[in-house]
Amino acid sequence: MDSLLSISNLSVKFATERGKVQALDGVSLSVNAGETLAIVGESGSGKSVTALSILGLLGDSGQVTDGAIEFDGEDLVNVSAQRLREIRGNRIAFIFQEPMSSLNPVLTIGTQVAEPIWLHHKKSWPEAFAQAGELLQRVAIPDAAQRLNDYPHQFSGGMRQRVMIAMALACQPKLIIADEPTTALDVTVQAQILSLMKNLTKELNSSLILITHDLGVVARYADQVAVMYGGRVVERASAADLYKSPQHPYTQGLMQSIPKLDGDPGSRLYTIDGQPPDLSKLPAGCSFHPRCPFAREQCTTAKPSLQDIAPTHQRACFGYER
């Protein structure tokens, strides 16, 4: 299968008060057409920076120092700002974590959903507005036509996230990037929103990049998974393979430390010692080695690269013996 998006060896640095911080270090990923890729990691792992760099949203302090991002045959690292604006919201759409702060509070919902259609598809305003009404209906907002004239504060958290999805779908994008889209929502609403996103992307045959820290969400909705740690991808596999036989010690620890609904109640939870690393002072060698139960001398000096251990399963680890 041809990949729609492929990121190879991407490195990103941020200029901060404490000097240059390497947020991404040689990240390689790919997303096939129609597939859902989940990027999993804890705070500071680089999962959000990866997403932002795809759309050139790193801001003034962030810079791609190495690597390539290819989307549908087009290089996104060295593309003009003008061309990026044509792609953003049109062929690649973004859904953010906080629907309240990513909607404009002084514009009506209808205006905000219609804007990308008017802008990118050059429709007349009445046409775009009518289409916005249809979109709200598709994301199951009751009384969609009336609610076009409402403002964001008149919507609940779940409804706002539905509006964000409607905006993202407006131009029928090839790729949707959703950064922790349900973390701010209640669990019953979270399930509704994720199923809606999954079904609509399937209908459009779009690809989805789902950024999350929740391995449960990944298991339910992802086809492929990339696990990130300290600015690097440490394991890549299909969701089924990853859960059946996680190969990187970090992934294994993460899986074991989640309390399960069918686990042994009241028992101690498995823990990974220590804390996620501070990107401004990453340990030498494999950045997971201070927390790794299998770390050897080699791990403290050299960085393992992502290697095939099966045709569809890669990990960045020098290997270990149990």
Partner 1 sequence: MSASNILEVRDLQVHFPITEGLLKRQVGSIAAVDGVSFHIKRGETFSLVGESGCGKSTTALSVLKMQPILAGQIVFDGQDITDHSAAQMRAVRRKMQMVYQDPFGSLNPRMKVGAIIGEPLRVHGMAGDKAQYHGRIKELMKTVGLLEDMAERYPHEFSGGQRQRICIARALALDPELIVCDEPVSALDVSIQAQVGNLLMDLQDRLGLTYLFIAHDLSVVRHISNRVAVMYLGRIVEEADRDTLFSSPKHPYTKALLAAVPEADPELEAQRSEQLIIGEIPSLRSPPTGCTFHTRCADAMPVCQRHAPERKINGETLLSCHLYS
Residues lying near partner 1 in the complex (CB under 8 A) are found at 42-43, 156, 158-159, 186-192, 195, 213-221, 239-240, 243-244, 253-255, 257-263, 265-272, 275-276
Is the CB of 4 or the CB of 215 nearer to partner 1?
A: 215
Structural tokens at position 24:
């991404």
CB of 267 to partner 1, least distance (A): 8
> Cβ contacts of residue 312 below 8 Å, gap of 6+?
237, 238, 241
d(CA 296, CA 59): 39
Is the CB of 114 or the CB of 233 nearer to partner 1?
A: 233
Is the CB of 49 or the CB of 159 nearer to partner 1?
A: 159
CB of 257 to partner 1, least distance (A): 4
> Cβ contacts of residue 311 below 8 Å, gap of 6+?
none
Q: Are 131 and 121 in contact (CB under 8 A)?
A: no
Is the CB of 170 or the CB of 272 nearer to partner 1?
A: 272
Is the CB of 100 or the CB of 191 nearer to partner 1?
A: 191
d(CA 229, CA 286): 10
Neighbours of 72 (CB within 10 A): 15
Neighbours of 225 (CB within 10 A): 26
CB of 308 to partner 1, least distance (A): 22
Look-up of token digits 């459009």: 204
Terminal C-alpha separation, the chain: 36
Is the CB of 170 or the CB of 317 nearer to partner 1?
A: 317
CB of 269 to partner 1, least distance (A): 4
Structural tokens at position 207:
């690809």
d(CA 80, CA 84): 6
CB of 152 to partner 1, least distance (A): 16
CB of 304 to partner 1, least distance (A): 20
